[in-house]
Amino acid sequence: MRMALLAAVLLAGPAAAQEVRFSPAATDACVAQAAAPEAKRGCLGLAAQQCMGATSGGSTTIGMMDCLDQERDYWDARLNAAYKVLRAKAKASDADLAEWGSSAPRTEPALKQMQRAWIAYRDTTCEFERAQWGGGSGGGPAVLSCLMRLTGEQALYLESAWLGE
């Protein structure tokens, strides 16, 4: 029994040491303090960098990928929230235009088309970044860094459109 307990503790040690310590607090604070959209873009990657420094093994390929992926998830959630708000606003605006008999271009279909084109752009751009590593171990962090950065930029863009900045 003692040996089984010792083995469990020893095996859990490396797993616990690799626990990712991601927090978006620094990024949230940075974005909140930034007045201009350009300054907000400077916040991209901040939480991932702090995660890499706070996580045992955060400077390893796997550690970097975990931290970058979690910040990508953070920006993806912000992007989806902003897109949902913009889409609702666009539908309401388009309904008003239709009610007035306006022939102005509709916003909601343009928003949807723009977002679909952006997804294709993001994916192909990040695959290009991965390809530059020639199959090396840096390709994983490179593609996740790209996905995080481009997703963050798009989230900030949609949020600024939502807020009318």
Domains in the chain: ranges and CATH: 40-163 (1.20.1270.180)
pLDDT tops 70 at residue 22 = yes
3-state secondary structure at position 58: coil
User: What are the pLDDT digits (tens) for 40-63?
Assistant: 999 999 999 989 988 787 788 888
Alpha-carbon Rg for the chain in angstroms: 21
Q: pTM to 2 decimals?
A: 0.83
Checking phi first, is residue 134 left (phi over 0); if not, alpha (psi -120 to 50) or beta?
A: left
Distance between CA atoms of residues 63 and 59, nearest Å: 6
**Residue labelled with tokens 């909601």:** 108
φ/ψ (deg, to 5) at 23 = -145, 130
Which ranges constitute the DSSP H helices of the chain?
A: 2-17, 25-33, 37-41, 46-54, 61-100, 107-131, 139-163
Hey, is 4 helix, strand or coil?
A: helix
Task: Give the per-residue pLDDT at 10.
Answer: 37
The model's pLDDT over 85-126, given as tens digits with 9 standing for 90+, comes to 999 999 999 898 888 988 888 899 999 999 999 999 999 999
